[in-house]
Amino acid sequence: MSTRETRGFQAEVRQLLRLMIHSLYSHREIFLRELISNASDANDKLRFLALAEPQLLADDAELAIWIDFDPAAGTLSIRDNGVGMSREEAITHLGTIAKSGTAEFFQKLTGDQQQDAQLIGQFGVGFYSAFIVADRVEVFSRRAGAPASEGVHWESSADGEYTVETIEQAARGTRVVLHLKEDAKEFADGFRLRSLVRRYSDHIAFPVRLPKEGATLEYENVNQAQALWSRPRAEITDEEYRDFYRHIAHDGTDPLIWGHHRVEGKREYTSLLYVPARAPFDLWHRDAARGLKLYVRRVFIMDNAEQFLPLYLRFIKGVVDSSDLPLNISRELLQQDREVEAMRAALTRRALDLLAKLATEEPEKYQTFWREFGRAFKEGLGEDVGNRERLLPLLRFASTASEENAERLSLAEYVARMKSGQERIYFLVADSMAAARASPHLELLRQKGIEVLLLADRIDEWVMGQLTEFEGKRFKDVARGDLELGPLSDAADKLRGEEALKQSKVLLRRIKEALGERVIEVRPSVRLKDSPACLVRGEADLSAQLRRVLAASGQELPVAAPTFEINIEHPLVRYLDSLSDAEQFKELSLVLFDQTCLVDEGQVAAPAEFSRRLNALLVRLAGVQ
């Protein structure tokens, strides 16, 4: 009597097959990951059952996964020596998706056994991904502990039906044979298969073996056969951590620091995060691939899971391995999953703690980090308000206390060496460090020995706009409004300011009339000592740098005239005050204003007019007709 029978797939399976073949997986090679994962699960299941029934392992105790291929025949097979299936299980598990072998297996576990079996994943759904690359699939299997006469052969061409028959099979376990489609023959190639195993299944806990090159009966291990992050930290050497970083980051340099953590409780996952020592070439490409490698129960899911870290930490490399997420989770589901949101918050804190540790324990390495990634990191001040207090201590600045332009100074160090009575953290943003150091706005502060933070990145104007205070000290832009010196301003300074205003009222009015709407006010300066004049913006006004960026993008900007501060003790201002000719006074006032615009903002509104006025002034002063 024949044991062969033909059956129809469950309706849900037919629907799933259509989805698998046409749209579920964006990369066809994923099928190999799924089949290796299933083989790993079968091995895991047998290993667990053998704890209570050691005889199930018999004389074949070394669990592994074998991959064979035949380019001529166009076939590919994945074999394991795990728990295997009976005929009834093959019908149930491969013909329906209502109950997978693993899900049913979980129902039989209670108490601590469920923890022991947590690595066992889903079987049924992933199996059907074989039909992405195969037009016919065969399964040969025998349940562990069953006699050789109870093997089973299952076969289908994804046409709505499958056949199943009882066969003789000496070895326990399962062998899945794929008859590859014409456009999928690339998967019957040893080099291609090796690269896919290393990419998708490198850290499956069992050896994945392929025939040695030029051999048919000898096999070699292709994967590492153990997830490094699943091992206790005490058992992993620094060199192993570094090797793993080079593998996942494709970076030949050593990482600056790494952190390896396991979270247990309401949610369970393991993370291994690395801080690189060198920025990738595409760090500033907003659409560049980024994110962590995502694993679910040690099975590779995707390369660039950007949902687990914010954009400003896009340089962080590593893996996250969840025990709770489903194997078939998509990027769309990751964006909507509350568990992922909670993991993202925790992983972000882990990454920031890692950087804080590096800054404290290895400042020179942190300097390398800041040089490579500081600009990207500063984006977090606007993107991640909830972690702003963690970000602030990690910022680094150049300052007037050093001639070095490298950004080495932390805010904590700045505050620690503030002058007695100083109430503000002073800073200046310019187009370059050279321009910042030469700025006339620093003259009084430099004379008083007050340190000023210097910033020159394009992002810095926006960054400093996000900050209000640090350790109770407010930030103060020295190019805006009053300097707010407080107790640092002595009585003599105040007296000189009042006297200057009293003596120069007429001069201030004449200059304001000459400049018209170019300025909102003309006043004697407290901050200037060597320069004749400077521009001072209002606290809420856009800087010249930011105005240029916005104007270049086509945005219309509101008119915001600056205040024009003059140093009434400067010889040029005294000469200007002595001019009785109204036209000459106006021309020199405009030259002085345009010159100040060049120093403060790097450009003038009307270069040709400035050049004409300057030439006329030089001719007159030289006495040339």
Is residue 239 domain-resident? yes
Is residue 255 domain-resident? yes
Is residue 105 domain-resident? yes
Instruction: Tell me which residue of 133, 222, 123, 215 sits closest to 177, measured CA to CA.
Output: 133
Is residue 373 domain-resident? no
User: Do 585 and 611 belong together in one domain?
Assistant: yes
User: Do 157 and 78 belong together in one domain?
Assistant: yes
**How confident is the model at residue 21, as a pLDDT?**
64
Task: Among 488, 507, 530, give the residue marking a domain's end.
Answer: 488
**How confident is the model at residue 125, as a pLDDT?**
55
> Which residues does 198 contact at the CB level (< 8 Å), separation at least 6?
222, 223
Task: Among 165, 185, 216, give the residue marking a domain's end.
Answer: 216
CATH number of the domain that 579 lies in? 1.20.120.790
User: In the chain, what's the furthest Cα-to-Cα distance?
Assistant: 125
CATH number of the domain that 430 lies in? 3.40.50.11260
d(CA 544, CA 516): 19
d(CA 41, CA 123): 8
CATH number of the domain that 49 lies in? 3.30.565.10
User: Do 31 and 156 belong together in one domain?
Assistant: yes
Strand partners, 208: 65
Task: Among 194, 216, 238, give the residue marking a domain's end.
Answer: 216
**How confident is the model at residue 110, as a pLDDT?**
42
52-85 confidence digits (pLDDT tens): 889 999 888 899 999 999 999 999 999 999 999 9
User: Do 617 and 515 belong together in one domain?
Assistant: yes
Where are the extended beta strands (E) located within 181-338? 208-211, 219-221, 257-263, 269-275, 292-296, 299-305, 317-322
Q: Are strands 208-211 and 75-80 parallel, antiparallel or unpaired?
A: unpaired
User: Do 257 and 334 belong together in one domain?
Assistant: yes
Is residue 323 domain-resident? yes
Cα 233 from chain centroid (whole Å): 24
d(CA 223, CA 326): 23
Q: How many domains does the chain have?
A: 4
220-264 confidence digits (pLDDT tens): 999 887 788 988 999 888 988 987 887 778 777 899 999 999 998
274-284 confidence digits (pLDDT tens): 999 998 877 88
User: Do 499 and 532 belong together in one domain?
Assistant: yes
Is residue 221 domain-resident? no
The two tokens of residue 470 are 């640090």
* C-alpha distances in Å from residue 550, one per residue of 81, 470, 511: 65, 29, 30
The two tokens of residue 336 are 């909507």
DSSP output for 293-312: EEEETTEEEEEEEGGGS-GG
Do residues 409 and 398 lie in contact, with contact meaning Cβ atoms separated by under 8 Å? yes
CATH number of the domain that 270 lies in? 3.30.230.80
User: Do 197 and 103 belong together in one domain?
Assistant: yes
User: Do 553 and 457 belong together in one domain?
Assistant: no
User: Do 574 and 504 belong together in one domain?
Assistant: yes
The two tokens of residue 417 are 């060496």
Strand partners, 521: 563
**How confident is the model at residue 2, as a pLDDT?**
58
Q: Which residues of the chain have pLDDT under 50?
A: 1, 24-25, 98-124
User: Do 192 and 320 belong together in one domain?
Assistant: no
* C-alpha distances in Å from residue 400, one per residue of 115, 419, 434, 449, 455: 59, 14, 11, 9, 11
User: Do 294 and 437 belong together in one domain?
Assistant: no
φ and ψ of 187, to 5 deg:
-85, 5
Is residue 177 domain-resident? yes
Is residue 378 domain-resident? no
**How confident is the model at residue 120, as a pLDDT?**
27
**How confident is the model at residue 402, as a pLDDT?**
93
SS3 of 70, please? strand
Instruction: Tell me which residue of 100, 97, 91 sits closest to 156, measured CA to CA.
Output: 91
Q: Which domain holds residue 438?
A: 395-488
Q: What is the pTM of this model?
A: 0.69
The two tokens of residue 248 are 């996942």
User: Do 521 and 464 belong together in one domain?
Assistant: no
